[in-house]
Structure 1
Amino acid sequence: MKISEMKQTLPGLAAVNFRLPDGTYLPAHFHVTEVGLVTKHFIDCGGVERRETAANFQLWEAGDYDHRLAPQKFLHILDLSAKILGRDDLDIEVEYQQDTIGKFGLAFDGQDFVLTAKQTACLAQDACGIPNDLLALPQLQTACCSPGGGCC
């Protein structure tokens, strides 16, 4: 989901609800504690330099059970964050505390915002030395580097 999609969606909602990939809802008293610009500058296992930029929302819950984030308040937070996020229509990623900080993608199902699972992937599959027919195996779809594979 992109920032523009969220801004278009929020005015039509009576409440802001987030659901985890397993179907569990975040408590209604969650807070948006941060909206930030995250830039990742890295080299993949094939030696290619890359950059990724996303808008990051950090969701958090506290013991203030009467707290509810209204759609208009969320829009106000997004408007305030424009000076950090700039004018680019960025993809949104969400951080939410579980056993450790979880990092999710974001979608909208027509009623709720849905935190979507993110996966790792090899960006330099041609440099890994793993035959294409093996890359189709489920255990290799999220990581390509293996001992002796030549990329790491």
Structure 2
Amino acid sequence: MKLSEIKEILPTLENVEFQLENGAFVPEHFHVTEVGTVTKHFIDCGGTIRNERVVNFQLWNADDFEHRLKPGKLLHIIRLSEEKLGIEDGDIEVEYQNTTIGKYDLKFNGKHFVLKNKTTACLAQDACGIPAEKPKVNLSELSTHQTSCCTPNSGCC
């Protein structure tokens, strides 16, 4: 989800709710403690230099169980970050501490914002020697009449 999309959605909501992919909700007393831009400048295993930039939201749970972040307040925080930090439209990445700090993509299911699990991947599979997907073979199609090149006691095994 892009920053421009969340800005369009927020005015239509009564409450801001974040849900994990497993169906669990971020406790309703969460805070958005940071809105910013994160830039990653790196080289992949194939030697290609890459730059990634995302708009970052950090969610945090405090002990103030009466806290509720309203859509208008989050929209104000976003607009302030655009004004003060020069944040441009971009993909949103959410940091949220579950068992450790996780990074999530953000989607909207029509009612809640969903924290989508992120995965890693090799960006240079051809240079890394990662084989193409292996063809799937049914065991029933293998010949049962193949003879071994080794015989018992031949010393080849």
TM-score strictly above 0.5 = yes
In structure 2, the residue matched to 1:10 is: 10
- Conservation of the 8 A alpha-carbon contact between 1:17 and 1:26: yes
The DSSP-based 3-state class of the residue aligned with 1:47 is coil
Provide the rounded CA distance (Å) in 2 between the counterparts of 1:131 and 1:65. Answer: 51
State the Cα RMSD in Å: 1.5
Deviation at 1:99, TM superposition (A): 1.4
Matches within 5 A, 1:67-82: 67-82=67-82
Deviations 1:86-109 (A, max 9, x none): 3x3210000011111011010000
In structure 2, the residue matched to 1:145 is: none
Provide the rounded CA distance (Å) in 1 between the counterparts of 2:130 and 2:121. Answer: 14
Gaps of 5+ in 2: 137-157
Deviation at 1:130, TM superposition (A): 2.2
Identity of aligned residues (%): 61
Provide the rounded CA distance (Å) in 1 between the counterparts of 2:99 and 2:112. Answer: 23
Deviation at 1:133, TM superposition (A): 2.0
Runs of 4+ in 1 over 2 A off after TM superposition: none
Deviations 1:51-110 (A, max 9, x none): 000000000011111110000000000011103253x32100000111110110100000
TM-score, normalised by the number of residues in structure 2: 0.82
* Letter matched to residue 21 of structure 1: E
In structure 2, the residue matched to 1:32 is: 32
Provide the rounded CA distance (Å) in 2 between the counterparts of 1:85 and 1:78. Answer: 11
Provide the rounded CA distance (Å) in 2 between the counterparts of 1:2 and 1:53. Answer: 12
Provide the rounded CA distance (Å) in 2 between the counterparts of 1:35 and 1:64. Answer: 20
Shift in alpha-carbon separation, 1:36–1:24, aligned structure 2, 3 A: same
Provide the rounded CA distance (Å) in 2 between the counterparts of 1:129 and 1:99. Answer: 34
Matches within 5 A, 1:2-151: 2-82=2-82, 83-86=84-87, 88-134=88-134
Structure possessing the higher radius of gyration over alpha carbons: 2
The DSSP-based 3-state class of the residue aligned with 1:132 is coil
Gaps of 5+ in 1: 137-152
Provide the rounded CA distance (Å) in 2 between the counterparts of 1:47 and 1:32. Answer: 36
Provide the rounded CA distance (Å) in 2 between the counterparts of 1:85 and 1:10. Answer: 20
